[in-house]
Amino acid sequence: MNDDDVLGFVSIHKDAAANPYDQIRQQVLDAIASGRLVPGTRLTSVRALAGRLGVAVNTVARSYRELEQAGVVETRGRHGTVVLATGSEGDRRLAAAAAELVQQARQWGVDEGRALDFVRAAFRGQ
């Protein structure tokens, strides 16, 4: 499995009643609901996932399109498809605050590890 294959757990069961695109869609929804896929996670590319699963590119594209229509992912052109903040108002606000923190950290030249150190320290201080 490639490091960029965050959907390495997705599989197609040929004997299942559900179509392959629906199996993919449901497995992604389940992973989001369980917290396995968090807001901001970039999904495996359509072509890469189709190749790994042995299905047509259009099958994966349909799954992603339906997930986007449901409001759980967003396709950002060349930047791929990412999980949106779903769930509670707190989750949505926290995802927005995290995105702002990342933007500021990058602007100030602070790497991910150092930024996470500050977040952990803030939690310990509360």
77 plus 27 within the same structural domain: yes
pTM higher than 0.75 for the full model? no
Residue that is written with structure tokens 């392959």 in the block: 20
pLDDT, residue 78, reads 84
pLDDT, residue 2, reads 54
What range does the domain containing 58 cover? 20-83
Asked if residue 7 is part of any domain, the answer here is no
Rg (CA), the chain: 17
CATH number at residue 37: 1.10.10.10
Q: Can you give the pLDDT of all 126 residues of the chain as single tens digits?
A: 555 789 999 999 999 999 999 999 999 988 888 888 988 899 999 999 999 999 999 999 999 999 998 888 999 888 899 998 666 666 667 767 777 888 899 899 999 899 999 999 998 986
62 plus 116 within the same structural domain: no
Cβ density class 62-89: b for 16+ within 10 Å, e for less: bbbbbbeeeebbeeeeeebbebbbbeee
42 plus 77 within the same structural domain: yes
